[in-house]
Structure 1
Amino acid sequence: MVSRAWRVVWPALLIAGAGLAGTGDAGEGEFGWTRSPDLTAYLLVVAAAAAALALRRLPAVTLAGCGAAVVAYLAAGYPVGPILVAVPVAAAGVAVAWPAGRSVPANVALGLAVYVAGGLRFGLPYSGVAGTWPLLVLLAVALPAAIGVNVRTRRDALADVHEANVLRVVADERTRMAHELHDAVGHGLAVIAMQAGVALHVLDRDPGKARESLEAIRATSRDALDGMRAELGLLRGEGDGPRRPAAGLAEAPVLLQRIRSGGLAVAADIWAGELPQEVDVAAYRILQEALTNVLRHADAGNARVRVARDGDDLLVEVHDDGRAAGAATGGSGITGMRTRAARAGGTLEAGPRPGGGFAVTARLPLEPPVERAP
């Protein structure tokens, strides 16, 4: 609050302090003035200071008020004095507040008005103090205006950078939510479709197995709906409510059970060590998407999952023996897995295996890279 008030009043205090303290001694050693500073001169100083109070909100008022006070002061025949401080204050203020296309003409008009007021009083040709008048006006207007334009340019550049960063963060968050929806809902639908097929196939001859598949459908659909509601709540800006904990490899046994219940044999070897959360989430989502792709596209009977520590990296491998695994390269599944791996600082490779089937291999660093000094 104090700093905000100071930004408003300091231009006025500068003009008032300099004007009230120095106007009485103005004119010593100067020629051309016809009227000693009196009450009117001080009132003009106060008027210029009052106009400067509007600099932040109404720079046009400051420009007009300061310019009019200085022109009236000079036209009245008072000696050149510290009231001229109002000129650079107004010039710099409008240059900061307005774009250059608007502030430059305004400052040119201000400079011409002050120049003409002084020139008419000093007469031509200029001599003595009057000989410095054009240079004095130029410095009083052009220099602060140039500084103001530079300040505004830098401020606008920083604002553009900030806006770009905000847009990038928003875009990254939307992409993350899109991946979450794709992984959670897409996997859920794939498992539901698989279990529904199993239930229809065994409904007449094995009601118990059909019941297991229906129960799996119910559990999977509930999880998928919960995940979708959570992400949609974030998308709608409902970020104050409780969020579902991030998925991790601790949920891998449930994932493998769902996949196996549909008839796909999955051999799994999953390392149970402590993991950074970003790596844990990325590893689980890559594993989930890779197995979902096996269900959707591979026409496979067997899959092998391996999650192991390899030096400073976590290795995630999913291999299958499907005949149509190449179809898994289509769509957004592989792209999403690569994006997740990249966000965790790792890499992902996916493609057909030389001996048949399809392979997904992700390598995720367990420690962030160390930045070396140049």
Structure 2
Amino acid sequence: MTVGRTPPPAPERGLRDWWWDLVPALPLLLVGMVGTGQAAQNQLDQVQALDALAYLLVAVAGLSQLLRRRAPVVGLVVCGVAVSVYLAMAYPFGPILLTGPAAAYAVATRLPWRPAVGWGVGFVAVTTAAASPHFVGQSSEGWLAYLVWAGTWTAVVAAPAAVGASLALRRRSEAGVRAEQARRAASEERLEMAQDVHDGVGHGLAVIALHAGVALHVLDRDLERARELLTSIQATSRESLDGLRADLERLRSTGSPGAATRRPAPGLDDMPQLLARMRDGGLVVHDEIDRPASLPPDVDAAAYRIVQESLTNVLRHAGAAAAWVRVAPRGGAVVIEVRDRGVTRTDTDGTDGVPVGTGIAGMRQRASAVGGTLHAGPAAEGGFVVRAELPIAVTAEVAVTPW
């Protein structure tokens, strides 16, 4: 037992909750109290005349519907007891029987189908047995009339219960679909974060390795150049660490990964800084960047990441001293091409000469995510080329010289 702590207050029930509790309890109660006497007048062979107990049972059966949302099984039991006693006392058939289908419907909409069927069968069996005084002993045809009534009563109770079960099954299916969509969205978010970590940290480490190698090469001859490279290494490592911390914070955040604050995604406007880091390390980069005037943020980020990963692969695999980067709109797409003329790559998976690893696959996924395509492989004139076409939401008529 926890000492010094009080249980949280129960949530207050609003006016709307009370209103839904009265439907259909209040209409059934009114119909039962008013219509029972009228129904009795048309049944001359009733065994027992209406009295205060009969109307009390009618009231209990109607008010049992107040439990249909909070405790549907309890409501069904109370209704079944009231209806069974009413029928067993041989009171005339009347509106009290309307409460049975309503209670069965409530149970079917709120319980799994197996227990709902069990409670429904039990309700029908008890109430049907209780109605036998109305038929047995009246005539030789009493049993036949009893069987017909029992079949009709079973159908009357089962029909709304079946409708309720169908609605409940549909709601559960929709809830399952929504939950699966939420899990899929969270999984896709985590995969996207993993790709961001791969691209950002991998690029940073490749640039740092390049700059460190050049700094060691010029250390004895050009201290000022070595100082510039070390300063660039410091800035690159800080930028990579900041990005890594932001992505890890998103992974650690409670709830959905998307609940955490995302750092602004880089885009083609950040290309000058990217190319400057490459050139500081000694890689010659020729660029022709023509950014479209209107570019969706996701396409902008995908274009930047494709160029970044392509240049990182140049540093890792090509052994090249030069690379060519071209970005320009063409029709309804922005075309990206990163080409080098480095050494022939031998670490391929046998499919179009594409190197083994996650870089190319990640770029293809980024292009596919925005509705574009990406092709990577050996260039006809030697080296390696990555070419992507990403759709632009707003098509602009731009004259571009064919590459």
Q: TM-score, normalised by structure 2?
A: 0.86
Alignment of 1:229-308 (within 5 A): 229-237=245-253, 243-274=262-293, 275-308=295-328
**Is residue 2:221 matched to residue 1:205?**
yes
Mapped partners of 2:66, 2:174: distance in 1:
26
Task: Report if aligned partners of 2:61, 2:79 keep a CA contact under 8 Å in 1.
Answer: yes
Question: How far is 1:131 from its partner?
Answer: 7.0
Q: CA deviation at 1:31?
A: 4.8
1:64: Cα distance to partner? 0.7
Aligned to 1:361: 387
Q: Deviations over 1:196-250 (max 9, x none)?
A: 2222222222211211111111111111122122222222237677642221001
Q: Any conservation in 1 of the 2:310–2:338 contact (CA below 8 Å)?
A: yes
Of the three residues 98, 102, 105, the one matched with 1:85 is 98
Partner in structure 1 of residue 336 of structure 2: 316
Deviates more, 1:191-200 or 1:260-269: 191-200
Residue 363 of structure 1 aligns to a residue whose secondary structure is: strand
1:325: Cα distance to partner? 3.8
Matched residue, 2:40: 27
Q: Which amino acid aligns with 1:45?
A: V
TM-aligned CA distance change 1:47 to 1:326, over 3 Å:
farther
Please state if 1:182 is matched with 2:198. Answer: yes
Deviation at 1:181, TM superposition (A): 1.2
Q: Which residue of 2 aligns with 1:372?
A: none
Q: Any idea what SS the aligned residue of 1:145 has?
A: helix
Matching of residue 56 in structure 1 with residue 69 in structure 2: yes
Q: Is the 8 A contact 2:344 2:382 kept in 1?
A: no
Which has a greater percent of helix?
A: 1
Which string of whole-angstrom CA distances, capped at 9 and with x for unpartnered residues, describes residues 21-57 of structure 1? 2122222222542222222222212222332222222
Which residue does the alignment assign to 1:135? 151
| CA pair 288-133 structure 1, distance change in 2 beyond 3 A | same
Structure 2: how far apart are the matches of 1:54 and 1:193? 71
Structure 2 counterpart SS, 1:317:
strand
**Aligned-partner residue type, residue 304 of structure 1:** W
Structure 1's unaligned 5+ residue stretches are: 370-374
8 A contact 2:292–2:328 mirrored in 1: no
- Partner of residue 128, structure 2: 115
Q: Structure 2 counterpart of 1:105, which letter?
A: G
How many correspondences in the alignment? 369
Superposition deviation, residue 182 in structure 1? 1.2
- Per-residue CA deviation, residues 65-100 of structure 1 (Å, 9 max, x unaligned), is 111110011112211111111110111111111112
Distance in 2, matches of 1:127 and 1:241, equals 71
2:332/2:394 contact within 8 Å kept? no
Which amino acid is the alignment partner of residue 363 of structure 2? M
CA contact (8 A) 2:88 2:132 kept: no
- Matches of 1:284 and 1:152, distance apart in 2: 48
Report which stretch shifted further, 5-14 or 73-82.
5-14
Distance 1:76 1:48 in 2: 15
Distance of 1:32 and 1:235 partners within structure 2: 76
Alignment partner, residue 105 of structure 1: 118
Partner of 1:166: 182
Q: Show structure 2 runs of 5+ residues with no match.
A: 1-13, 348-353, 396-403
Deviations 1:83-128 (A, max 9, x none): 1111101111111111121111211111111111112332163389
Match of 2:237 among 215, 221, 233: 221
Distance 2:45 2:240 in 1: 88
TM-score between the two structures when normalised by the length of structure 1: 0.92
Deviation digits for residues 343-363 of structure 1 (CA, Å, limit 9, x no counterpart) = 111000011112211110000
**2: CA distance between counterparts of 1:241 and 1:169?**
14
State the shift of 1:59 in Å.
Answer: 1.7
Instruction: Decide whether aligned partners of structure 1 residues 130 and 26 sit closer, same or farther in structure 2, where only a CA change above 3 A counts.
Output: farther
Q: CA deviation at 1:368?
A: 7.4
Is the Cα–Cα contact under 8 Å of residues 326 and 358 in structure 1 kept in the other structure?
A: no
The one of 374, 378, 384 equivalent to 1:348 is 374
Greater shift after overlay, 122-131 or 258-267?
122-131
Measured in 1, the distance between the counterparts of 2:226 and 2:44 equals 109
Structure 2 distance, partners of 1:297, 1:338, is: 18
In the alignment, is the contact (CA less than 8 A) between 1:35 and 1:77 conserved in 2?
A: yes
User: Which is worse superposed, 248-257 or 8-17?
Assistant: 8-17
- Is the contact between residue 31 and residue 129 of structure 1 (CA under 8 Å) also seen in structure 2? no
Query: Residue 13 of structure 1: CA displacement?
Result: 1.9
The Cα shift of 1:185 comes to 1.3
Aligned equivalents of 2:147, 2:43: Cα separation in 1: 11
Is 1:16 the equivalent of 2:47?
no
Give the Cα separation in 2 of the matches to 1:210 and 1:277: 37
